[in-house]
A and B are shown apart, each in its own frame.
Chain A
Amino acid sequence: MAVVKLQRPKLNFGEKIYFGALIKGFFLTMTHAVKSLLGKSAGAESLASSGLGVTMQFPEQRWDDHLPEYYRGAPALVTDEQGRERCVSCQLCEFICPPKAIKITPMEIPSDDPWAKVEKRPLEFDIDMTRCIYCGMCEEVCPEQAIYLRKDYLFAGFSRAEMVHDKKRLYEIGGVRVGLVNKWNELK
């Protein structure tokens, strides 16, 4: 890389004495302070501010309505319109998962089941939310379009065990996904 020698700018007396810049700075900070007290900071509107600065104050106000289409929240399992679990426990998501958050115990569907032709379904499907990094690889790799990243983001618990989502919880979050979904288009 070429070495560029910079010439320091020659300051005139007014710039050297520093006070002009100082007062300009005071005006800038005070404008920010006054504007944020009045709730008129730049970007306050678009960020749905609480009326003080640009901040949205969390438990009372939520970002839910403003979540973008591409938002990646918690991974969850979905059922189709007939109530069938889409997951066939191929375990691809378990293998691709970078932090190894997913654990699947497959089971064979008994022959008297109406969906016996599907052959397999998960007996256990655990996603450890303390490990999940919301990368969306599971969603991309799933051949049956059974796992999706939903917009839920609020997960908290008092113990590690509480933070592991089991199959029931995953279907609760995921809900029903109707029709054949092309996962590459906008609809998720």
Chain B
Amino acid sequence: MDLLQIAIIITKIIVLTFLVVLPLVPVCVYFERRFSAVIQDRVGPNRVGIPLTLLGFKKDFHFFGLIQPIADGLKLFLKEDFTPAHVRKVFYWMAPVLTVVPALITVCVVPFGSPISLFGHCEKLVIADLDIGPLFVFSVASLSIYGITLAGWSSNSKFPFIGGVRSTAQMISYEIALGLSIIPVLMYFGELNLSNIVQQQADHGWLLLPLWGHDADHTLTSKLLFWFPAAIAFLIFTISIFAETNRMPFDLPECETELVGGYHTEYSSMKFAMFFMGEYAAMVIGSAMIITLFLGGWSIGFGLDAYVAKLHIGDFYFGGFIHMGCFLTKLIGFILFFILVRWTVPRFRYDQLMKLGWVVFFEAALINVFLAALIVAAPELKTAIIGIGAVLLVVLTAAVIWVAKVSEETPKVLRA
């Protein structure tokens, strides 16, 4: 590994993590406040800007209050960092870091754009082009549970503890649905490498919009047939991401009406900001995963990607930056969707949440795996075998629904 390569990797880490994803967090907060306000017929923060009147100009410059996030961040920096006397100090200090760091590490497998090439040197817009992309994201994201659990426990008071316990149980439960729901997608692509998955979607149509790039291996019929398991997977995955990132309607760990602030009740200043940052970074990464797997990642779609990739000035192929812009646009669109959901869907009860995860999504994802396998393998199977498979699938589904119904009935004899 020569010096140039190391320099490129470090540049990628700094630019993609600290100049693209981290700034997205305050942008998220800004959109959260502004879009929430608009939904509720309010205005939201639109004032913070450059106070030109102080310098003798006629008008202040406030560009829709876009500088608000900086002011928010500054406020959190300057607040008193208070450590209550009753906490378990070491763990109390460790917890916020343990939530932020995993969220930021997961950035490294997200493909931000198509490769950029300069002087014949081609560089992918991914920090680490691992062959185990989604698995890496899940495994590292699962580490952020420790932060929340430790925060709840080390705060040594009841509301944070309940919040931490709730969050742990919720995140572990939904990890299963999360992992199972994308198996059909991985089966379809035959890949775990996220850049290859996106490239395939750019060439042959997004998973949820397979309308272009048909050829012998990717016929329109096969793609449209796979649309159904893909849509089910998308639904389960998206809702599980909501639960995984503790967003509304599943934000029971920090449910204000019951738990004050949940696991970060005892935190203040920058330590609180780190929880906040970790949460929003997880939301950004979650949206990035949904977009990458189901909505074509950086791809513009409709067969335009090949043209964009060929755009160049001299030896500099800059199509990757256009793709990156497309990716970020999709990302912000999805974040707006997250916010829209927050103000639309009321909070679930905890038992409803658990039931949704274990009884509905877990089973639905399993059946979906079966369905997807049948559809993917269909061209190579005899008609009779497909028929048997379909019958088995229907029987299995009916059995699962029956079991779910039976388990729902209230037990006749109550425990003493």
Direct contact of A and B (CB under 8 A): yes
- Residues on A lying within 8 angstroms of B by beta carbon are 22, 25-26, 28-30, 32-33, 35-37, 41-42, 44, 50, 52-55, 57
Chain A residues closer than 8 Å to B43, beta-carbon distance:
50, 52-53, 55, 57
Asked whether A33 lies within 8 Å of B344 as measured between CB atoms, the reply is no
Q: Do A53 and B38 touch (CB < 8 A)?
A: yes
Greatest chain A CB density within 10 A among B343, B344, B345 is at B344
Point out the residue from B42, B343, B344 that lies within 8 Å of A53, measured CB to CB. Answer: B42
Closest to A30 in B: B340
**Of A26, A37, A42, A52, the contact of B340 (CB 8 Å cutoff):** A26
Task: For B39, list chain A residues within 8 Å (CB).
Answer: 29, 32-33, 36
* From A26, A36, A41, contact of B344 by CB (8 A): A26
Complex CA–CA separation, A55 to B40 (angstroms): 10
Kindly list chain B residues whose C-beta atoms are within 8 Å of the C-beta of A50. 43
Which 9 interchain pairs have the tightest Cβ spacing?
A: A53-B41, A25-B344, A41-B41, A55-B43, A36-B41, A29-B344, A53-B42, A33-B39, A54-B41
Q: Is B35 an interface residue (CB 8 A)?
A: yes
Q: How many residues of B contact A (CB 8 A)?
A: 13
Counted as pairs of residues, one from A and one from B, with CB atoms less than 8 Å apart, the total is 46
Closest chain B residue, CB of each to CB of A35: B41
Shortest CB distance A46–B (Å)? 13
Q: Is B37 an interface residue (CB 8 A)?
A: yes
| B308 CB to nearest chain A CB (Å) | 31
Separation in Å of the A89 CB from the closest CB of chain B? 44
Contacts of B40 in A (CB 8 A): 32, 36, 53
Q: How long is the Cα–Cα vector from A37 to B344 in the complex, in angstroms?
A: 18
A56 to chain B, nearest CB (A): 9
* Bound: A133/B344 CA distance, A: 38
- Contacts A36-B41, A36-B42 known; list 20 others, CB within 8 Å: A25-B344, A25-B345, A26-B344, A29-B343, A29-B344, A30-B340, A32-B38, A32-B41, A33-B39, A33-B340, A36-B38, A37-B38, A50-B43, A52-B38, A53-B38, A53-B40, A53-B43, A54-B42, A55-B41, A55-B42
Q: How distant is the Cα of A59 from the Cα of B53 in the complex, in angstroms?
A: 14
Which residue in chain B gives the minimum CB-CB distance to A51? B43
What is the minimal beta-carbon distance from A79 to any residue of chain B, in angstroms?
38
Which residue of the partner chain, among A22, A35, A53, A57, contacts B37 with CB atoms under 8 Å?
A: A53
**By CB atoms of chain A within 10 A, which of B38, B39, B41, B42 has the most?**
B41
Query: B37, B42, B344: which contacts A28 (Cβ < 8 A)?
Result: B344
B338 CB to nearest chain A CB (Å): 13
Residues on the A chain within 8 Å of B35, using CB: 33
Q: What separation, in Å, do the CA atoms of A57 and B46 have in the docked complex?
A: 10
Q: How far is the CA of A57 from the CA of B43 in the complex (A)?
A: 8
Report the separation of the CA atoms of residues A16 and B46 in the bound assembly, to the nearest whole angstrom: 41
Q: 28 pairs across A/B with beta carbons < 8 Å?
A: A22-B345, A25-B344, A26-B340, A26-B344, A29-B340, A29-B343, A29-B344, A30-B340, A32-B38, A32-B40, A32-B41, A33-B38, A33-B340, A35-B41, A36-B38, A36-B40, A36-B42, A41-B41, A42-B41, A44-B41, A50-B43, A52-B38, A53-B42, A53-B43, A54-B41, A54-B42, A55-B42, A55-B43
* Minimum C-beta distance from B50 to chain A (A): 17
Q: B345 contacts which chain A residues (CB < 8 A)?
A: 22, 25
In B48-69, which residues have CB < 8 Å from any A CB?
Answer: none
- Bound complex: CA of A44 vs CA of B42, how far in Å? 10
B89 to chain A, nearest CB (A): 40
Determine the residue in chain B with the shortest Cβ distance to A44.
B41
Closest residue of chain B to A49 (Cβ to Cβ) is B41
A22 and B348 CA atoms in complex are apart in Å by 13
Give Cα distance in the complex from A55 to B42, angstroms. Answer: 6
Name which residue of chain A comes closest to B336, CB basis: A33
Q: What chain B residues lie within 8 Å of A35 (beta carbons)?
A: 41
